[in-house]
Amino acid sequence: MRDNILVIGSSGQIGTELVIELRKIYGNDHVVASDIIPSSEEIMSSGPYEKLDVTDADKLLAVVKKHHITQVYLLAAMLSAKAEKNVNFAWKLNMDSLFNILNLAKEKIIKKIFWPSSIAVFGPNTKKELTPQCALTEPNTVYGISKLTGERWCEYYFNKFNVDVVSIRYPGLIGWKSEPGGGTTDYAVHIFHEALKNNTYTCFLSEKTTLPMMYMNDAIRATIEIMQTKAENVKIRSSYNIAGCSFNPMQIAAQIKSKQVEFTINYKVDFRQEIANSWPQSIDDSEAMKDWKWKAQCNLEKITHDMLDNLRIKYNISK
Ligand code: AKB
């Protein structure tokens, strides 16, 4: 029997790109997009879409049954910066959504789950450079606490109920097809849009704030690769560290300038600086490399080149 896939959060930064890639692999009719708001034109016109609030367990079950869903990618979540301003709702959304999906697998209604964790599971006392898989996890943000708690529940459901759930700890993600919403790493996407539209950007993190980042192509590939690898290769059922490249606002600005864009960056630090300060600067992803052969391909130079090229087309700006 072919797998039928439900992507929850198809209008978000990852969902917008993941649905299209999954449809190429599994066929348009086998990948159902879902969100509380409509997804991109490309998604809406190329396959099934369901309006779905994942905290509504009854509606979720109805959608899963209607489309004979076997696999779920749960991407709906409130990210770090927004969660700090919406503590109770962020906790409810991030935890209820996960339990609703884990329980579907526990009851054998679905077979496999992808659930994203984040570098936000680490905290201010964690080793900052090449943070290992099993480093100290003492997050001090609502988002980080929800992701760490989610990791523990994923491992628990795997051990106790044999639920086939896999997860990766995403760094900050950069892509041109959609904009991020509510994260601390969002600056690394907005900077490209503003560079091309206004030739200037005011950054909410200080110039030397180094964070782990990843290009969306790598993130989508990692997501699909861990779902497709044999279950016995997945030795870690909480969540895997994965690394792309690390850089700070000053370095990304220098790359943008080196591509002949007239550009100035200013700094106006806000509450997101404290969140960024609590996170690692770079990640050791050797466990993912060993277990399911993960390897990132994009560096800052390639990301900058690709982002500017694609956004120039999007905004109809000539070189
Ligand atoms: C955020 O900034 O909140 C996210 C993340 C690192 O998980 N991009």
Given 143, 170, 201, 215, which residue is catalytic? Answer: 143
- The whole-number pLDDT of residue 175 equals 97
Nearest in space to 275 (alpha carbons), one of 168, 131, 144: 144
Q: Where are the beta strands (DSSP E) in 150-307?
A: 164-166, 168-170, 172-174, 200-203, 211-215, 240-241, 245-247, 264-267
> CB–CB of 241/133 below 8 Å?
yes
Q: Which domains does the chain have, with CATH numbers?
A: 5-170 (3.40.50.720), 173-213+244-315 (3.90.25.10)
What is the pLDDT at residue 261?
Answer: 72
pLDDT, position 303: 97
pLDDT at 293: 97
Q: Is 14 in the pocket of ligand 1 (CB under 6 A)?
A: no
- Give per-residue pLDDT as tens, 104-129: 999 999 999 999 999 999 999 999 99
Main-chain dihedrals φ then ψ at residue 114, nearest 5 degrees: -110, 130
Q: Which of 146, 186, 246 has the most ligand 1 atoms within 8 A of CB, as the residue to mutate?
A: 186
Residue stretches of the chain with pLDDT short of 50? none
Give the per-residue pLDDT at 180: 86
Helix axes 249-258 and 187-198, enclosed angle (nearest 10): 30
Q: Are 59 and 53 in contact (CB under 8 A)?
A: yes
Which pLDDT belongs to residue 260?
73
Contact predicate 198/172, CB 8 Å: no
Count of positions (residues) in the chain: 319
Contacts of 308 (CB under 8 A, 6+ apart): 192, 195, 196, 256, 259, 261
What are 198-223's pLDDT values in tens digits?
Answer: 999 999 999 999 999 999 999 999 99
